[in-house]
């Protein structure tokens, strides 16, 4: 796939001072905080950090604009406790990770669609180029407490998308996320895990081997610096990155309050495709997906339908159809005569002609035509159906 072999270029693009400043800010401010984005626009990353550090050393210094006193005090406390950014970069490098920020060659431009909610930068573990992989990626997310059906669908979508050259993006959590990652890995495909914690702090702990395997075969991404732990709000904020990185989001099993629906809402807000896999109408685990589909979400059932929506022109899913019966291929007049035969036993020519609404002479001609095709048999003065007239020519879901 395009970009699958591209390697990340940590440090290419943004000046070192800007990189260090942004890396430090990931220690001080929470992801997606719009006030910090406004500071960066007005003062730049280096000057913003200088002012925060100056205020941390002298609490009488004037705070940056647009922040409440208690929030400002919290930022200063973080600034005092935060290690130097050089230490974070070295710690990340020990885990084979790098810090990618706006201005770098590897920075995915679609993240800029988040506006003031854009990440300050991303800590990236793995060899491929994040920018190249994100260009052809799809998010597959869903419930942690999913059913066997959710696991099967998540894995099937992950494998199917990977086989078609798409990168599968998810959150590395239990349930649907893990199934999607494993499906892509099992197909020897590309997958990205976006974490809600530091790049070196795997959560959930039970996924240590999975995340390590993703880092070997794909990419692991985090907004938070090394060592940071996840919180409920950080999981929610992480979802905007998943939505912005990808061309569309597929939700597999999600209750009404599922965080996966938040990813779909972000996708819609950003002009991306929001898709859902339906489940049983009585399933509470699929209730949120069904609500999404009742509104602006698009129903999908497999990878081919996802690619038809997010892919290039001409990447169409196969036409879906039920079983094709041999009788469906008959011309209309012959089909009417065939339909007039009784379901059981034999019928006379007169009876069949009345049912078909045609003459007896025409009926006789059609019956002999149908007999030559194997649809009917003659028994004395009567005619009856053969097995061929009701058996499918093509199996359920097949195409001629």
Predicted local distance difference test score (pLDDT) of residue 117: 96
Helices (H) and strands (E) in the chain, counts: 16, 14
Residue with tokens 């129903």: 299
Q: Which residues of the chain have pLDDT under 50?
A: 1-11, 396-400
Residues forming beta bridges with residue 138, ordered by sequence position: 168
Contact 151, 179 (CB under 8 A): yes
Question: What 3-state class would DSSP assign to 137?
Answer: strand
Predicted confidence at residue 250, as pLDDT, reads 98
Q: Which residue is listed with tokens 């495909």?
A: 189
Cα separation, 45 vs 225, in Å, equals 17
Q: At what angle do helices 45-57 and 34-43 cross, to 10 degrees?
A: 110
Q: What architecture (CATH level 2) is domain 84-310?
A: 3-Layer(aba) Sandwich (3.40)
Helix axes 45-57, 69-81, angle to 10 degrees: 90
For residue 198, how many other CB atoms are within 10 A of its CB? Answer: 24
CATH topology of domain 324-394: Arc Repressor Mutant, subunit A (1.10.10)
- The sheet with strand 382-385 has its strands ordered as 347-348, 382-385, 376-379
Distance CA 57, CA 49 (A): 12
pLDDT of residue 387: 78
- pTM (2 decimals)? 0.82
Query: What phi and psi, each to the nearest 5 degrees, are found at residue 344?
Result: -130, 145
46-100: pLDDT as tens digits: 999 999 999 999 866 788 998 998 999 999 999 999 999 999 999 999 999 999 9
Domain ranges (residues) in the chain: 84-310, 324-394
CA–CA separation, 120 and 219 (whole Å):
19
Contact 120, 34 (CB under 8 A): no
Q: What pLDDT is recorded for position 2?
A: 38
């Amino acid at each position: 796939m395009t970009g699958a072999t591209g390697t990340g270029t940590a440090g290419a693009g943004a000046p070192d001072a800007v990189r260090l400043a942004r890396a430090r800010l990931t220690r001080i401010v929470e992801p997606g905080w719009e006030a910090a984005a406004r500071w960066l626009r007005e003062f730049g990353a280096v000057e913003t950090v200088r002012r925060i550090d100056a205020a941390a050393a002298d609490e009488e210094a004037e705070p940056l604009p647009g922040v409440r006193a208690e929030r400002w005090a919290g930022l200063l406390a973080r600034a005092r406790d935060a290690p130097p950014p050089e230490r974070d970069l070295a710690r990340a490098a020990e885990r084979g990770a790098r810090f990618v920020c706006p201005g770098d060659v590897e920075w995915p431009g679609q993240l800029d669609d988040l506006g003031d909610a854009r990440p300050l930068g991303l800590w990236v573990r793995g060899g491929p180029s994040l920018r190249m992989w994100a260009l052809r990626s799809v998010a597959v997310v869903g419930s942690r407490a999913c059913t066997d059906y959710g696991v099967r669908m998540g894995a099937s979508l992950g494998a199917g998308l990977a086989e078609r050259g798409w990168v599968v993006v998810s959150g590395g959590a239990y349930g649907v996320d893990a199934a999607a990652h494993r499906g892509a890995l099992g197909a020897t495909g590309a997958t990205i895990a976006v974490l809600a914690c530091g790049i070196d702090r795997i959560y959930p702990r039970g996924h240590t081997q999975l995340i390590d395997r993703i880092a070997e075969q794909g990419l692991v991404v985090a907004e938070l610096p090394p060592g940071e732990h996840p919180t409920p709000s950080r999981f929610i904020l992480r979802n905007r990155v998943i939505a912005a990185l990808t061309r569309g989001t597929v939700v597999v099993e999600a209750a009404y309050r599922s965080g996966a629906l938040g990813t779909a809402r972000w996708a819609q807000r950003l002009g991306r495709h929001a898709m859902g896999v339906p489940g049983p109408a009585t399933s509470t685990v699929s209730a949120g997906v069904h609500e999404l589909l009742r509104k602006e979400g698009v129903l999908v059932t497999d990878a081919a339908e996802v690619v038809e929506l997010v892919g290039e022109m001409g990447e169409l899913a196969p036409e879906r159809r039920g079983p094709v019966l041999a009788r469906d291929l008959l011309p209309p007049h012959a089909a009417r005569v065939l339909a007039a035969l009784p379901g059981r036993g034999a019928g006379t020519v007169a009876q069949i002609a009345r049912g078909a609404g045609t003459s007896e002479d025409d009926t006789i001609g059609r019956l002999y035509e149908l007999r030559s095709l194997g649809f009917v048999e003659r028994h004395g003065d009567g005619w009856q159906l053969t097995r061929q007239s009701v058996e499918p020519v093509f199996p359920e879901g097949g195409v001629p």
